[in-house]
Amino acid sequence: MPELPDITLYIEALRQRILGRRLERSRVRSPFLLRSVDPPIDAVHGAKVAAFERLGKRIAIGFDNDVWLVLHLMIAGRLQWRADWPASLTRQTALALGFDSGTLLLTEAGTKKRASLHVVRDHEALAAHQPGGIELDRVSAAEFEATLKRRNHTLKRALTDPRLISGVGNAYSDEILHRARLSPVTLTSRLTSEESARLFAAAREVLAAWLERLRDKARGEFPSKVTAFHDEMAVHGKYGEPCPVCGTKVQRIRYADNETNYCPRCQTSGRLLADRSLSRLLKEDWPKSIDELEQMQP
């Protein structure tokens, strides 16, 4: 799922291409995409783009008639830009917005269609799509700690809860926790003030660094390869590969369609966290530490 650095980069690219531009036509191809009926999408036909907002992981495009398009890309949704209106649209194209400067396409891979588009009128209606999480670049370390401790969750869940923290998902939460040298399953209620300050600094550093890295990769072009997996990442998507800090093999916790990656040396004092599927299968044979795991391997 595109997270804060990706969404910010999308908005910057859109601002360069469609701010002040008139929307000439639109086509919604996916019956699952449009989630609102009033106002209709043609309410923005002929209007000019006047503003952009990021609402957590949502992109809001505002027009000069105070109507907004709110896009949530979810896991597989991606944006593409082309200079003309396409003669035909691919099966993956869910939405086409034709401006007088080019065409914005929303594509969604896979069979699970989760991306959404809401059309809303005025800022009051727009605010209903704001999840409510704090913006990490606008709060203090003390405010961050207070937010984390509003609910007693694991750090992984707290970081990815859009009602608590804005814009952080599965990928960057792994990187943040690794940078902070904290376990993903530590409960927020047990977090010390020193650990919270370390986590706050790590979160700001990781997100800022990745935004700059993605800007450098895009080189002014529209971002075309938005992914949750990058070679430069420390632990996310690196199961079985060496931690760049200590060399220990990165481990994982798998659940549903997601997994959490972490370094047991850097983050859990050498302790292995139970992977639900593997620990259920191995039962008593499930190793409790990275040392036991390495002894089991030939």
Here the CATH number for the domain that contains residue 40 is 3.20.190.10
Half-sphere exposure of 53 (CA within 13 A, CB side): 17
Are 288 and 169 members of one domain?
A: yes
pLDDT of residue 278: 47
Do 221 and 272 fall into the same domain? Answer: yes
The order of strands in the sheet holding 58-63 is 49-55, 58-63, 67-72, 116-121
Q: What is the pLDDT of residue 255?
A: 77
Structural domain that includes position 258: 141-296
Question: 164 with 261, same domain?
Answer: yes
Whether the CB-CB separation of 106 and 79 falls below 8 Å is answered with yes
Shared domain for 208 and 99, answered yes or no, is no
Report yes or no on 232 lying in a domain: yes
φ, ψ for residue 290, nearest 5 deg: -65, -30
Domain shared by 205 and 77, yes or no: no
Residue 250 pLDDT > 50: yes
Q: Are strands 23-28 and 93-99 parallel, antiparallel or unpaired?
A: antiparallel
CA-CA distance, 221 to 68, in Å (whole number)? 25
Based on the domain organization, do 47 and 161 belong to the same domain?
no
CB 171 within 8 A of CB 233: yes
Q: What is the pLDDT of residue 146?
A: 97
Q: Is the pTM of this model over 0.75?
A: yes
With 50 as the cut, is the pLDDT of residue 286 above it? no
Q: What is the pLDDT of residue 105?
A: 98
Residue 133 resides in a domain? no
Q: How confident is the model at residue 154 (pLDDT cuts 50, 70, 90)?
A: very high
Specify whether 113 is located in the same domain as 57.
Answer: yes
